[in-house]
Chains A and B, each alone.
Chain A
Amino acid sequence: MRSLYHSSRKQEKLTESITMSSEPKDSTKTPAEQSAAAVIENKRSPADFLKAVLGRPVNVRLNTGTDYRGVLACLDGYMNIAMEQTEEYVDGQLKSKYGDCFIRGNNVLYISSPTR
């Protein structure tokens, strides 16, 4: 099982990289302080976004144009996604429903969250 280790490592790196790039001159702050600073600056890294949408209704769009709407159960660094109460829309038409489903990350174009 690579992902538990791998994805959390990757996410860590994601968070680091964005806070580093936003504050290149200040290396004295802890990562937590840096990410707090990033929030104050109204920046939102992909890691922040993912934290915010976990357990919430999302729309996942694939490269093929198919949309999946459901509750985001979890995801990893490859953007593999587990969703609940999923509805599949092809060309905007509801095609089928899945109680649980796994979406392979390479097919994902974007994840959108309807509200904030």
Chain B
Amino acid sequence: MTSSETKPLIRLRGRSIMALVLAPEIPLDGWLNALDAQMERSPNFFDARPVVVDLGAIPREQPGIARFLQLLEQRGIRIIGTEGAHPSWEGIEAWGRPLPVSAKPGREIEAPVAHPGKSVPQPEVAATGGESNTLIIDQPVRSGQSVVFERGDITVLGSVASGAEVMAGGSVHVYGTLRGRAIAGLSGHAGARIFCSKLQAELLAIDGVYQTADDMPAKVLGKPVQAWLDGEQMKISVLD
């Protein structure tokens, strides 16, 4: 069994959150009435959910935007940011720096029966995932591709190329050669592990603890290995 020596830890974590995007339309009064009707039908829908207000559809000359956002907050809607806001609107800066308009508009959700848990980013490559919490990728992960699966494990049947990355909420299993990056325990799961049949990885990370290729002991390179966390330390051992 081989392990690396202790080093000061710098933890880096990626986190993505699901925010609802509300896109008001003019006339604002009419839109607010419709919103009230909606909230009456499903009173707890906005409870504790972060909301981004997309103001892209509001014409630049529309007055009273700051007041309108206050009205939303009074209805218990937690606004974490705005996008598409025009800087000339009075009082808009109080709502924080507007987010850039995102390239992807997001998925329409049905308001009364929303399942916000289904917010897994779609991997670039075609993937098949069953009901179990494993994402199976039955082709190589190519350079430049990024596969993210926050709900569970990722199993790659081919290799992970140099310049590719695989990020899982649970463990990462690579049956080919791991040449790129593997990140397990994405959202704080210290029990996650990384397995591969040949280790040539650029980077391994579990729950924010990472090692680059330079840190990895020479004994484990090119071997079938597993990596896990022992406290705050990453251990890599050869599987035989």
Are A and B subunits of one complex? no
Q: Which residues from chain A sit less than 8 Å from chain B, CB to CB?
A: none
